[in-house]
């Protein structure tokens, strides 16, 4: 059973926390009493954080410095959440090398860099949650680099889980469907008929709607807490049934 009191006083670092899912998770943890360090390449105005650090997760130098700074402020982390990500609406044949590198480096390499930097600063029995996507499980047109990055993140989660057992650190990932975030809304806005696309896309989710940030926040809290103490290397699909079709 999820115990909200477990989060109080424990330290967390959340990447991609200036907006969207990352911001929602950082806010929920803060409201539960956790000492939250927000990490993003953009500033965040979320109140009540233990620290809000600016770093580009594509850079090992920037990530290592930011995580050291975070650990100096809050001590050992009980929770690491990797949410930093970018999307690109482009086919495999139209994607440039620079675009490919940005998507893969942000979504996949960035998760590895943040987690690697945090590893020496983790508590025993810490929990790591990576935010992937149902695009990491099935293919989507015009999302080649994004699908590749998110699919790699699913496999990286499994490998990191096996590499973490010596310290009883758990590593899991969430694969959301389409979530109403600034990034998700910008994808809809880029379609030729955004309103029609939004209706059709919502209908493609058997549950009958697009997801909300709160849907993914609740999944993350479960995986971060001892309620999931026997869960590691797992993929929690929160996509309204999209991939069950």
The DSSP call for residue 134 is G
Tokens 């849907």 correspond to 215
Mean model confidence pLDDT for the chain: 95
pLDDT single digits (tens) 17-45: 999 999 999 999 999 999 999 999 999 98
Q: What is the mean pLDDT of residues 102-126?
A: 98
**What does the pLDDT read at residue 180?**
83
Retrieve residue 32's tokens.
């539960």
**What does the pLDDT read at residue 103?**
98
The answer to whether residues 132 and 157 touch, using CB atoms and an 8 Å cutoff, is yes
Decide if pLDDT at 9 tops 90.
yes
Catalytic residue positions?
Answer: 146
Torsion of Cα atoms, 213 then 214 then 217 then 222, to 10°? -150
Tokens 């989660």 correspond to 157
Helices 182-189 + 20-31 axis angle, to 10: 160
User: What CATH number was assigned to the domain covering residues 4-178+212-238?
Assistant: 3.40.50.720
The DSSP call for residue 232 is -
Decide if pLDDT at 1 tops 80.
no
Retrieve residue 175's tokens.
């694969």
Q: What is the mean pLDDT of residues 208-228?
A: 96
CB atoms within 10 A of CB 90: 17
The answer to whether residues 49 and 34 touch, using CB atoms and an 8 Å cutoff, is no
pLDDT band, residue 227 (cuts 50/70/90): very high
**What does the pLDDT read at residue 197?**
78
pLDDT single digits (tens) 160-205: 999 999 999 999 999 999 898 877 777 777 778 888 878 887 888 9
Backbone angles phi, psi at 243, to 5 degrees: -85, 0
Supply angle C-alpha 9, 13, 19, rounded to 5.
115
pLDDT single digits (tens) 56-81: 999 999 999 999 999 999 999 999 99
Within 13 Å and on the Cβ side, how many CA atoms surround 166? 4
* % residues pLDDT > 70 (the chain): 100
pLDDT single digits (tens) 145-160: 999 999 999 999 999 9
Decide if pLDDT at 115 tops 90.
yes
The DSSP call for residue 135 is G
Strands 77-82 and 51-54: unpaired
């Amino acid at each position: 059973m999820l115990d909200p009191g477990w989060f109080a006083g424990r330290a967390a670092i959340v990447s991609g926390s200036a907006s969207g899912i990352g911001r929602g998770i950082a806010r929920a943890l803060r409201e539960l009493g956790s000492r939250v360090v927000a990490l993003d390449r953009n500033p965040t105005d979320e109140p009540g954080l233990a620290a809000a650090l600016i770093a580009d997760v594509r850079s090992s130098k920037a990530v290592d410095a930011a995580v050291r700074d975070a650990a100096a402020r809050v001590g050992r982390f009980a929770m690491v959440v990797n949410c930093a990500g970018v999307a690109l609406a482009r086919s495999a044949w139209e994607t440039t090398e620079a675009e490919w590198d940005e998507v893969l480096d942000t979504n996949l390499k960035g998760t590895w860099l943040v987690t690697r930097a945090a590893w020496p600063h983790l508590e025993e029995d810490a929990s790591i949650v990576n935010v992937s996507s149902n695009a990491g499980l099935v293919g989507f047109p015009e999302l080649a680099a994004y699908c590749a990055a998110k699919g790699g993140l699913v496999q990286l989660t499994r490998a990191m889980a096996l590499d973490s057992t010596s310290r009883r650190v758990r590593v899991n990932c969430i694969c959301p469907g389409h979530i109403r975030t600034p990034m998700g809304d910008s994808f809809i806005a880029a379609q030729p008929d955004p309103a029609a696309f939004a209706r059709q896309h919502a209908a493609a989710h058997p549950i009958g709607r697009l997801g909300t940030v709160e849907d993914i926040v609740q999944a993350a809290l479960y995986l971060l807490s001892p309620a999931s103490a026997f869960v590691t290397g797992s993929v929690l699909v929160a996509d309204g049934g999209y991939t069950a079709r």
